[in-house]
Amino acid sequence: MDITTFNPPVRTLMGPGPSDVYPRILEAMSRPTIGHLDPLFVGLMEEMKALLQYAFQTESALTMPVSAPGSAGMETCFVNLVEPGDKVIVCQNGVFGGRMKENVERCGGIPVMVEDEWGKAVDPQKLEDALKANSDAKIVAFVQAETSTGAQSDVKRLVELSHQYDCLTIVDAVTSLGGTPIKVDEWQIDAIYSGTQKCLSCTPGISPVSFNERTQEKIRDRKTKVQSWFLDLNLVMGYWGSGAKRAYHHTAPVNALYALHEALLILKEEGLENAWKRHQDNHLALRAGLEAMGLTFIVAENDRLPQLNAVSVPDGVDDAEVRSRLLNQYNLEIGAGLGVLAGKVWRIGLMGHASRAENILLCISALEAVLSDMGAPINTGVAVSAMHKALSR
């Protein structure tokens, strides 16, 4: 085997994540590594907390980056909040709700599933029925932005309902943070986790999380030890909690945290509201182009995520062939369908830095070229102008 330096091509990343990384972030990552207990690094982490609090719209002191990808943020919420025998209502409308169920089971909890069709938002009525039927439930968990389908659920409403029935809430905001509104304090979300590689447009591998006072109390009052040493927040609070001395817990991924600091700074410079609006405007432009071509969205208009656009693969078209041509001829990555949607949909991401006009133009024109070359039944010659018209609105 002749092994040399790995030199990846420059791709345009318009799948379900990772998304295009801001050049400023890659540059930040290449700065000199310093010790994770170096006073300068501790200062950086103080800023990180403030930046994460801004992104999540919370004042909670337990707002921090977990040193592992979004899945570890999910696990942090479940292993700390679920004790053996606890009943947890999990709303599932795609892939990630299924992983929440796995997490509950592995913590010794009892999952109660509230299922909605893939491509639909979580139905608040079904949640309320489950809350009524399970008065001993302690936690409700659901995904705000289901990346597997492109559907978004009404967090504010679902949290309100859960609190009416005395349940704490765990919210998956991996794909929503930085792309669609999240207001942790205003909506009274109890525990939330996200990821770096979706709408923050940072490199993958870190998971921002935030826990409010009620959840911190529950964690302190646990009867059993958290079964994960690494993710046990009782230990991490020693490093991160207010007034805590910076004791060694694990070696922080120093350069990855430079990257996240830069990503959050970019978000703050743009402003949350502006970022949310940019995602929405660009979604409408992509949509105009795709619909002009004759492609159709699988999610109802009011429940669509601007940052994840799931469209049906036209009849008779080989889904994998299209994606491989886009990748090989245009260096453009779009996502395949997952689970029950495998082979049936494409998932086009407009996340973070990937949500910009030139990407939409590339996606629309490359998709049209590939589909028409393959003899797919689409309208040609109209999509790009429909997109431009929507952009100039």
Pick 150 or 289: Cβ nearer ligand PLP = 150
Pick 41 or 56: Cβ nearer ligand PLP = 56
> Least distance in Å: CB of 95 to ligand PLP?
8
Pick 35 or 339: Cβ nearer ligand PLP = 339
Pick 334 or 383: Cβ nearer ligand PLP = 334
Pick 134 or 203: Cβ nearer ligand PLP = 203
Composition of the chain by helix, strand, coil, percent to 5: 45, 15, 40
Contact 209, 76 (CB under 8 A): yes
Q: What phi and psi, each to the nearest 5 degrees, are found at residue 170?
A: -120, 120
> Least distance in Å: CB of 328 to ligand PLP?
25
Instruction: Return the half-sphere exposure (C-beta side, CA atoms, 13 A cut-off) of residue 124.
Output: 13
> Least distance in Å: CB of 136 to ligand PLP?
27
Q: Is 239 helix (H, G, I), strand (E, B) or coil?
A: helix
> Least distance in Å: CB of 342 to ligand PLP?
16
Q: What residues line the site for ligand PLP (CB under 6 A)?
A: 17, 69-71, 74, 96, 143, 145, 147, 172, 174-175, 195, 204
Residue 188, H or E segment: none
The most distant pair of C-alpha atoms in the chain lies apart, rounded to whole Å, by 65
Q: Which residue is nearest to ligand PLP (CB)?
A: 70
Could you give the CA distance from residue 135 to residue 112 in angstroms, rounded to a whole number?
Answer: 12
Could you give the CA distance from residue 191 to residue 123 in angstroms, rounded to a whole number?
Answer: 20
Pick 114 or 383: Cβ nearer ligand PLP = 114
Could you give the CA distance from residue 161 to residue 154 in angstroms, rounded to a whole number?
Answer: 11
Contact 223, 86 (CB under 8 A): no
> Least distance in Å: CB of 81 to ligand PLP?
17
> Least distance in Å: CB of 18 to ligand PLP?
9
Nearest to 308 by CA among 166, 149, 158, 192: 149
